[in-house]
A and B are shown apart, each in its own frame.
Chain A
Amino acid sequence: MNKVLRNPLAYALFILPALIMYIAIYILPLFSSLRNSFTSWNGINEATFNGLDNFRTAFSDERFWIAFKNNITFVLFSSFVQVPIIIFISIVISGVRKFLNFYKTTVFLPSILSTAVIGTLWQFIYHPDVGLINQLLRAVGLESWTHAWLGEEGTAFLAILITNSWQWFGFYIVLLLSAIFAVPRELLESAEMDGAVGFKKSWYITIPMIRPVILVILLLSITGAMNALDIVLIMTYGEPFGSSEVMGTYLYKQAYKFNEFGYASAISIIIFVFTVLVTLIFQQIAKRTEEVEQ
């Protein structure tokens, strides 16, 4: 047995192809980004070393700050607005017996559609003339409330956040539902006998029991918010006036629109460092609250 499973050639054959591809496409690019981030480079000529210039530019670049702030808004919106609503809806769904499957399948539906489809659909919904929202406002006589939702600085990014919620709510709800249904029945029954019903029961029993999955959801939505790119690219392209820009789209434009590959690489390194930082902070907070609870 051990002899068969100690076969260096087979081990190499199994591991190397995938590992080489993975390192070439995942790990090496990060290093090449790091190297390029210290250069001035238009993608064609030789890159010239310029030290920390790109990072200095980024920190004094107003547009980059807007993008950075939008990423932070995205993270905060996901953690403090989306996640509580998701928990609430999941608990409500878990309480019903009839139509449970119907609810589950329907709410999950947007998660299988592409961001391209969802972005296009919502561009249509937000459309100033024929869009669902403005038509609705006009129908109820609130003409003055109508906006060019994706075309105005004040509303564009919020409109994207709402679309993003619509896209991902169902996915997280189904994830939470499976956790809620894994809570031992006896625990809930004994809580009920002690007088914990309705939301009291959820607050004291269900939520602490599903805490690990809530943390997973938080982490997934935080990294999702940091990596946001396609939905913004599709819906607003960062416009108007860069008001809905995120770091991902800003990087994209610096590279492919302005050929500032050095600067774009520096931004990609900032995104990486920032993602790692946010993840570490999150894990610290998660650990600390666990200690408090115990």
Chain B
Amino acid sequence: MNVKLSKGIPHLFLLAYVFIVLYPLFFLLNTSFKKNMQIDSDPWGLPEPFTLNNYTYSLSNSKIGIYFSNSLFISIVSTLATLGLSICIAYAITRMKYPFLSKYVYAILLLSLLIPSPSLLIPLYRMVNWLGIYNTPLGLIIPYTTFGIPLTVFVISAFLKSVPKELEEAGVMEGLSVYGLLGRIILPLTLPTLVTVFILNYLGNWNEYVLANLFLSNDNLRTLPVAVVSFFNKYNTNYGALCSSVMISITPIILIYSVLQKKIIEGVMAGSVKG
């Protein structure tokens, strides 16, 4: 059999698959530059004429900038809080000399893997109301921060177990307290792992829809995913505006992905391997 041909078959197959992945996104991009007339009459062709009207329309007709910064703010604060809380707990259970207690703490955290998120909806909703943080950013920040804790602790703990004890011993010699050990020795070493879990948590928070939809009803507090879903009804038959709005909301993340793909893939993977 022709060697070149047999080597080509996998590529043909994979290109077909890549096409299925990319074409819907290209279709979205292509449509976003078309006039509504052409979207209906000529779905496949390139934009003719090419127009940016959809973009100017959706930028001036919705608070997409506000939604964007809301998402950014809530995601970053929750992610940083998760990381701060998690590194402390991970350090305590892997390094400090309370193995018996630590085992229990770890086991309690493992329970989270069994709890389906829909089961938490109603009690969380009540709790958020009770705490008076319904319709405030805190209403999302507190649950997001907490949801990230178990996986983040697992990933950081797995890393800390591989750090040699000698480093801390040297630290103790120099008179560091346990806080100093964590802050001066462990934290810098863990930085690459922290970047990985940052990405993992950040994307989860950035993309979360159900709680964001339930806990924030004020339009000025809305996050991007909730806004994107509302576009579909808002722009009813104005498909050009719908497509441009969705494009605006995904462009930043796609740009970041094209630069940092390796780190991002690693980050998203981190959660599943350790689980």
Contacts and interface: CB of A to CB of B under 8 A. Distances in A.
Interface of A: 1-2, 4-7, 10-11, 13-15, 17-19, 21-30, 32-33, 36, 89, 92-93, 95-96, 98-99, 103-117, 119-125, 129-130, 132, 135, 139, 166, 170-171, 174-175, 178, 216, 220, 223, 226-227, 229-230, 233-234, 247-248, 251-252, 255-256, 261, 264-265, 268-269, 271-272, 275-276, 279
Contacts of B17: 89, 107
Interface in B103-151: 105, 108-109, 111-112, 114-127, 142-143, 145-147, 149-150
B185 to A, nearest CB: 12
A162 B105 CA distance: 39
B91 interface: yes
A18 B21 contact: no
Given A171-B272, A252-B121, A275-B116, 4 more contacts: A10-B179, A117-B225, A130-B239, A251-B118
A279 B123 CA distance: 24
Choose among B181, B229, B239 the residue with the greatest number of A CB atoms under 10 Å from its CB: B229
Q: Chain B contact residues: over half helix, strand or loop, or mixed?
A: helix
Interface in B21-71: 21-25, 27-28, 39-40, 43-44
Contacts, number: 264
A4 B118 contact: no
Choose among B13, B95, B272 the residue with the greatest number of A CB atoms under 10 Å from its CB: B272
Contacts of A111: 268
Given A115-B207, A120-B246, A124-B239, A29 B123 contact: yes
B225 A227 contact: no
B169 A171 contact: no
Interface in B248-264: 249-250, 253-254, 257, 261, 264
Contacts of B206: 114
A197 to B, nearest CB: 11
A127 B239 CA distance: 11
Interface residues of B, number: 98
A38 to B, nearest CB: 14
A276 B150 CA distance: 18
Contact of A11 (B25, B96, B119): B96
21 contacts: A4-B178, A5-B168, A10-B177, A14-B182, A15-B93, A17-B85, A24-B146, A26-B150, A29-B122, A29-B124, A32-B123, A33-B119, A112-B268, A114-B207, A117-B228, A121-B246, A129-B40, A139-B44, A175-B273, A247-B118, A271-B118
Nearest to B256: A112
Contacts of B93: 15
B228 to A, nearest CB: 5
A18 B228 contact: no
Interface of B: 10-11, 13-14, 17-18, 20-25, 27-28, 39-40, 43-44, 85-86, 88-89, 91-93, 95-98, 101, 105, 108-109, 111-112, 114-127, 142-143, 145-147, 149-150, 153, 168-169, 172, 176-179, 181-182, 203, 206-210, 213-214, 224-226, 228-229, 231-232, 239, 242-243, 246, 249-250, 253-254, 257, 261, 264-265, 268-269, 272-273, 275
A71 to B, nearest CB: 11
A255 B122 contact: yes
B227 to A, nearest CB: 8
Contact of A264 (B122, B150, B209): B122
Contacts of B98: 6, 11
